[in-house]
Amino acid sequence: MKTVLSFFAVLAAALYFSNVFAQADIQVHLPEGAKARIGRGVVYELAYSPDSTKLAVASSIGIWIYDARTGEALRLLTGHTSYVMCVAFSPDGSTLASGSYDGTICLWDADTGEPTATLTEDTGRIYSVAFSPDGQTLASGGTDEFIKFWDVRTGELLRTFAGHAAAVSSVVYSPDGETLASYGADRRIHLWDAKTGEFLMALDPEFEDAGLALDRIYSIAYAPDSERLASGNSDGMIRVWDPRTGELKSTLIAHASDVTAVMFSPDGQILAGAVSLENGSTIQFWNVGSGERLKSFIGHTDRITALVFSKDGGMFASSSDDETIRFWSPATETPLRTITGHNRERIFHVMYASHGRILACLREESIQLWGPHIGRLIKTVDFKERIFSTAYSPDNVTFACETAGGNVWLLDANTGEHNGTALIGHTEGISSLDFNRDGSILASGSYDRTIRLWNVDTGDLRETLEGHADGVQHVAFSPTGLILASASDDGTIRLWDIKTGDVIKILDGHADWIRHVAFSPTGLILVSTGGDKTIRLWDIKTGELLKTITPASGAFFTVYSPDGNTLASTDRKVIHLWNAHSGELLRTLTGHIGYIYSIAFSPDGRTLTSGGRDGTMLLWEIAQ
């Protein structure tokens, strides 16, 4: 116990740094043409550099490198074409390795951030990478159920271990370099001879013999002396094993549902575990020798996803689904500083208020309102359930939202509060919502093949529009509010007279389902996109097909610029800008790692905002 107390006493002299680092310092390594980024992406793993000066963060948009002493974002390493799931520094700190959903492992110069090599061997997604203690070999695990070993200098695949019955979630070298531990989706820990590939043993909880199902393993970690291996489990237990004999040495009860991360202090005296609670998470410290619980660190308000000690033991870092990374001194129980903005939710819809001073984004369970200054979050409206559709009224007063329960709620756009009135009537999910020009009518399109028109003031159903032979994917009012366009899986677009409820025209020309429709600012042209990978422009008066644009890989969403001269369309992770009159491709914007779900022009037309699966919004400079 004396050693443990002295460990805390030495660390009590840790310096105090500024507490919160928000959006202002993240405008690094922006894609060409982008003027700002909102959001840092989802965090998957953390790694300290050997000299404890830098923290590497594997995220959905790349690898963030932070100054571990100040929390400043130093750079963002990009090059992977999908999410970065894991990251590790070489023992000498000269190389950084990262593994991605794109099936590649990248090696980077840790000082300059320049890529030095790409390792690939048809590996599938990469979930974990680990350097051998001598730094000459890199081990990796992923979806293909194999553990692979790579020569760091040449990039050559040296050998492959097979034994897990499912994807390999994590690989960890023992500090002495003799063994390698792995765990996978089969919920087993395997130990291997790191040099020969010989399978040594599987570490299974004692209750498996009783025929009970194995609990999920979230994390494993070796003690610095290689004589202990700890695992964090979904049964709220931390198990400590002797990796030489396979003996279960101790079980630490965390009194929680999940232990999502475990780690040993550099001196081996402390075992830390991230424990999920009903109202947040805590980081618990245990005396390795006695099994005594020493202290708890409270601050995260959601599940902790990663936990790592600095190499000198003077600090540890944690990331959480509460969208923060926190730096802690082991000697104190409050965070020294916090990095915010590492969002965990995808962005499904972006939209501007008509006055242009608010940018709203729909996430999975919340709506965020951002101010005109990049990174200034005005308000977050949280829901207890998933949100599927939303619309912003033209008078900037009301939000309409459809939740997982199938109800549409009308909310005050300033306070986020609703009056308790639910718009109920559709028998299947709602795909799209849109307000008319003065905000008095809300249209809802549904997979039940109908469109419903609602009185916004009273919540009463005005009319039900029927006629589509399949689900309605999207609805959009004309600028005058007198015509409503609906796009359907039946491959047609219908134009409806709002006063009478009659069908004015049926636009038939797409060879597949139709995903999205939008009116030109004059209301004379309608643009549509669909499953046939075309963009089609229609004359509203005659119903004539004016032009067909065929992007190389199709288009999911298309919107007009406010002046009507430019069309912006999304193609998976890419945005194309087109001349709205000639159909000429003007520009291609690349930078998102995940699929783009929504785009919107600012009212002045100078900015195009995009948001999507990687959880970030990019703001693009559009020439006028």
- What pLDDT sits at residue 8? 35
Sheet holding 199-203, edge to edge: 168-173, 179-184, 189-193, 199-203
- What pLDDT sits at residue 433? 96
List C-alpha distances in Å: 61 to 104, 180, 592, 595: 15, 29, 7, 12
Nearest 5°: phi and psi at 210?
-85, 5
- What pLDDT sits at residue 14? 32
Q: Which two tokens stand for residue 74?
A: 């130093």
| Residue numbers in the chain where pLDDT is lower than 70 | 1-26, 122-123, 205-214, 256, 372-375, 405-406, 419-420, 624
- What pLDDT sits at residue 18? 31
Question: In this structure, are residues 62 and 41 in contact, taking their beta carbons and an 8 Å threshold?
Answer: yes
Q: Which two tokens stand for residue 229?
A: 């291996």
Write out the DSSP string of 172-235.
Answer: EE-TTSSEEEEEETT--EEEEETTT--EEEEE--GGGGGTPPPPPEEEEEE-TTSS-EEEEETT
> What value, to the nearest 5°, has the Cα angle with vertex 491 and ends 487 and 493?
35
- What pLDDT sits at residue 185? 84
Question: In this structure, are residues 177 and 134 in contact, taking their beta carbons and an 8 Å threshold?
Answer: yes
- What pLDDT sits at residue 380? 86
Q: Is 210 exposed, middle or buried (0-12, 13-18, 19+ CB in 10 A)?
A: exposed
Q: Which residue has the tokens 């359930």?
A: 385
Residues 6+ apart with CB under 8 A from 199: 161, 163, 190, 191, 192
The DSSP secondary-structure symbol of 115 reads E
- What pLDDT sits at residue 416? 75
- What pLDDT sits at residue 593? 92
**Distance of alpha carbon 497 from alpha carbon 500, whole angstroms:** 6
Which domains are seen in the chain, by residue range? 1-11+216-344 (2.130.10.10), 79-203 (2.130.10.10), 347-558 (2.130.10.10)
**Distance of alpha carbon 55 from alpha carbon 322, whole angstroms:** 19
Pairing label, strands 115-119, 280-287: unpaired
- What pLDDT sits at residue 300? 93
